[in-house]
Structure 1
């Protein structure tokens, strides 16, 4: 029998002592190629439209100096792409970078630049930002994404390090540590985690505190953050992150990544040249006519996202995370920038946003936009959606905050927000709105009811940073207190906000720790603190167990009642102190609504932000059913919320008392036979 030998790559010449041949232009990055025997080949491909010379720099693992530098022959260049296959390399002990030369700054051939397409980097240690080649041998064990419908999601936004840095787990602050906390997430009832940035970034690039905790300054877009991996010192962060995703999927939890494609960690022309800037500054960044960096991101530079090359980079990156890491979707930081043209102008049909919406690999991925930027562009409700994009609904956040606080003239708008903001999303449906009251950026929920003003002095910017318009109320005392009356009001206000959120149409998002009363002591911009101020304090989980129980029951109640997630086929009716008579006047602080889902899926919701109690006349429930009490935030735990399905019937089916600054939720069950 004739055995066909594989056709393998082979060297054609030597450079710097290494056998090489002209490489393949695509894919970009470093890719293993098939060879005979142990003569391992790696194809290196890098783009630079303006470089006049390119050199591949090779290091042994952890070495201070290069083991070789291989200039690309001109014949190894096609268009603006330099490519070369190098043989005889050990990928597991190899680090690499590039030197690019060109017509003046920012080309500096003395700099060794990171590969923009590097799928593994050394992180920010002694030999920072060096690129590596990962192994591709992870066993996914037939992993299947949960494929949860948008309207059924309950998103939980968390920081990978902060969630377990203070936890009793084997590897605190890591992907592996987060795996150990999956049972907590399952018990809480969330079915989707939104991870704050996990692309490689420089944790030390803050001039005031020396810490960049949040990670919204990416440098390695294809590389999982090395220091978030217990195995990072062994360069196994790719496998560790994949294991996290696989375990979350086993638990029925989807994974969204918070991604930053509006800027990079290189800053403006005064910042470091780490990768993009030194390879092709004028392609990757938006530049003014005199060569400075446009700063629509508020961080020094703005990626030129709708340039065809950069658009291809973004698509390649997201396809990689979706296909190789099995992530279920992405939340885009300052996504309004992605709709800007080269000079910052707003594009009518942004090529990048359209490409993402219709990309075949990303077809099943959830796409969520933070529909504003740092230069004043606010597109909430008007983001180019292509029937695919959802949005962080900043108007929902502000309306709920103002209503819970007790502001006048907000009741009518709250009604609109609770119905999925149809004034903004009627065409797109309720799945287009991601509802939230708090997120990483701003006060925690506990601080929202404990501080009238931000307290960011520890950030080193004289309390000038962070938003001053928080719609917060301290309930009578600024900051920590032992006043029982103030504490009781705060506890009610926290429950009020959470119950409104989980009773609204749309996709609810909860900030990790809010269910346990996490505080940042009034700091509403804690991006630069990696410590107890920003970590999840797991002692609070025990101390505030009643609040966690309340949230768990509220999530379970939402899950048990489709009428709170997918609309009300039987209709929505508005009420006030008197049934069927809502009060839309500016001075009203009471909102009541009945969601009739047909059959026995009927829910009555009432919120009172007045400082006095009211007696509410109830609408009659559907025939044969009776009102039962699910939640009353004015009641002391554990009577503030009952287990779904075990709600006690109201003694008086015609009326109910709602306390001051309280929310109550009723549900129908079959009437008990007397």
Structure 2
């Protein structure tokens, strides 16, 4: 059958017929396109739109022959799919119910692969779904890095190159990030983890800057609008076509350089918020399927964002799986970090499940079989599933216990030596069966103080966020070194620099998968703001610091090179005791586990391939250690020493200084790493 075409199609007709209910979303076909959507509704319309301004061109009703169950599927001919925009309208109710309630506005397709109308960064979007081609040139295969060898670098696409010091031709874009690959390789990074790149509205923040009243952005992007669409504002031209092409090019270029790509994905809430938020799609299509609701039908807010995704509902679980497969098959990404992943473990009432279906399905999905899966095993209710998110060995976790225990150790908190000892060898108390590689170790990330600010501020400074300064993590176990904020005092600066390097050294020598936050290698600062989700320019990477902080950058690279050179640091199994691991103090085999202890020293050894490393961290006054004997035929070589002056505190693998005698001077609040060489 056909309907009369609107003026744009003068002289032609638009033909419609049944579509494929098994393929949701919109796809081009010869002479037109197909569109299918799941909707719990009395009636549904496919709306054809002008992609430039969202003007309605035609509204095509889904007829009874277009419906299979709750899926409405239609094939449209006589339309150039690459030139048209589309959306849906629904009439709430059950199929066949009489009219009487208002028809929705034009809804977005939850599976739209492209969203037009977002414009340049900071412009208010008027989203229109676009249909992108199916057939594309293949992306270079991922590097298939053994998890034991991964070094993850967490960064923000815009913030990494937006600063004028980057010198990028198109700053803040996918292409500009690709140009920084030589820098990442020199640093020793082989995996980038990108903060959310699925389409989001950076103008949806309701807070304003104190004093000026200027709107604050949703800079991080944890408020997804289009789960299948790369963010257009991160492309050199803010169109879905360019975003699609340039993100594919970024992944391809990173892969060719031996660098894997992880995406930070947000399946715990959506940009629709609570009843006061916009209705983009999910709320009108199937609110009780996609969201957790209370007995009055109001959204449950377990995420502190207004709504909570009903992750283990069959419709929502299918959506999540389709979305993950999409990023793997279309763009070639190598894995995902799941924001507030404990939501994925909840049932329709919000109760935590002992055996949730969705995480198991993700881990066992054949398309995702090679994908790295990392859970942030918490949510906004205070739930903390670190160590227990899933028993499936495919799942790894952001180890917040590692972060906290490392910080406490370096601040000489009581009892911290014994607690961090478990973290250094891979957290066997948390992952007794899964092994060290279940743990993604980090000391700083996007959420919280940067590593430099952790050494310079004893409290958060968030007034610029427009929330009265009370937002963000209340206590980050930080210390300012004797003066809050910027300082010119040489003693303060020396204490800060040493503590910063101690953190980097510990991260590099700990078993598990290390993650470095972008800029921590050059002392990036947010001036004490520990919740910079709404701070654009403040969060940018200042590339001039690669010169002014060249010593710190070199030290970081040497730490990562030391890790890469020593397989004993990357073992996938937990140690069982001497000689695999032995603990020491000022004298060999005499560790101090007292509550007020201030020295942690460990020898890590493996026979095949032969490798032995000694690590010590001193959180108190200077002391002299008598070193344990190295293996027969070897002697200790000093590679990393944060007690030495910057620039002389690290050496590349193969260039360590051979020690004379059996004693080592360990400066106050300093750490060392040694290796046994012939």
The answer, yes or no, to whether TM exceeds 0.5 is yes
- Choose the corresponding residue for 2:272, options 244, 266, 284: 266
User: Relative to 1, partners in 2 of residues 1:76 and 1:600: Cα closer, same or farther, differing over 3 Å?
Assistant: closer
Matched, 1:151 2:148: yes
* Gap regions ≥5 residues in structure 2: 6-12, 209-214
2:204 is matched with: 205
Matched, 1:536 2:541: yes
1:470 is matched with: 476
- State the shift of 1:15 in Å: 6.1
Aligned pairs (5 A) from 1:77-476: 77-103=67-93, 109-122=103-116, 124-125=118-119, 128-140=126-138, 143-166=140-163, 167-209=166-208, 210=215, 211-233=217-239, 235-476=241-482
Aligned pairs (5 A) from 1:29-44: 29-33=25-29, 35=30, 40-44=31-35
1:113-160, CA deviations, whole angstroms, 9 ceiling, x for partnerless residues?
A: 10001011115346622110112343236x121111111100000001
Question: Contact (CA 8 Å) 2:28, 2:132: kept in 1 or not?
Answer: no
- Choose the corresponding residue for 1:47, options 19, 38, 43: 38
Matched, 1:657 2:665: yes
Question: Contact (CA 8 Å) 1:154, 1:191: kept in 2 or not?
Answer: yes
- Choose the corresponding residue for 1:621, options 630, 636, 644: 630
2:3 is matched with: 14
Question: Contact (CA 8 Å) 1:106, 1:278: kept in 2 or not?
Answer: no
1:554 is matched with: 559
Question: Contact (CA 8 Å) 2:115, 2:240: kept in 1 or not?
Answer: no
Distance 2:241 2:261 in 1: 22
Matched, 1:604 2:605: no
* Gap regions ≥5 residues in structure 1: 1-11
Distance 1:350 1:279 in 2: 24
Aligned pairs (5 A) from 1:487-636: 487-531=493-537, 533-566=538-571, 570-598=579-607, 600-610=610-620, 612-636=621-645
Distance 2:486 2:663 in 1: 38
Distance 2:529 2:557 in 1: 27
1:76-135, CA deviations, whole angstroms, 9 ceiling, x for partnerless residues?
A: 111101111101111222111111111499985241110001011115346622110112
Question: Contact (CA 8 Å) 1:600, 1:669: kept in 2 or not?
Answer: no
Bigger mean CA deviation after superposition, 227-236 or 246-255: 227-236
Question: Contact (CA 8 Å) 2:339, 2:376: kept in 1 or not?
Answer: yes
- State the shift of 1:377 in Å: 1.2
1:3 is matched with: none
- State the shift of 1:21 in Å: 0.8
Distance 2:135 2:72 in 1: 28
User: Relative to 1, partners in 2 of residues 1:207 and 1:488: Cα closer, same or farther, differing over 3 Å?
Assistant: same
Distance 1:44 1:138 in 2: 20
Q: What is the SS of the residue equivalent to 1:422?
A: coil
Q: What is the SS of the residue equivalent to 2:555?
A: helix
Cα RMSD, aligned residues only: 1.6
1:405-460, CA deviations, whole angstroms, 9 ceiling, x for partnerless residues?
A: 11111101111010100001010011100000000000000000000000000000
1:510-545, CA deviations, whole angstroms, 9 ceiling, x for partnerless residues?
A: 0000000000000000001111x1010111111101
Q: What is the SS of the residue equivalent to 1:361?
A: helix
- State the shift of 1:234 in Å: 6.6
Distance 1:628 1:102 in 2: 73
Distance 2:635 2:534 in 1: 53
Question: Contact (CA 8 Å) 2:89, 2:107: kept in 1 or not?
Answer: yes
Distance 2:134 2:245 in 1: 9
Question: Contact (CA 8 Å) 1:107, 1:279: kept in 2 or not?
Answer: no
Distance 1:117 1:627 in 2: 58
Question: Contact (CA 8 Å) 2:48, 2:86: kept in 1 or not?
Answer: yes
Q: What's the TM-score once normalised by structure 2's chain length?
A: 0.94
Q: What is the SS of the residue equivalent to 1:327?
A: coil
Question: Contact (CA 8 Å) 2:3, 2:14: kept in 1 or not?
Answer: yes
2:9 is matched with: none
User: Relative to 1, partners in 2 of residues 1:572 and 1:170: Cα closer, same or farther, differing over 3 Å?
Assistant: same
Distance 1:441 1:264 in 2: 19
Q: What is the SS of the residue equivalent to 1:527?
A: helix
Matched, 1:23 2:44: no
Q: What is the SS of the residue equivalent to 2:321?
A: helix
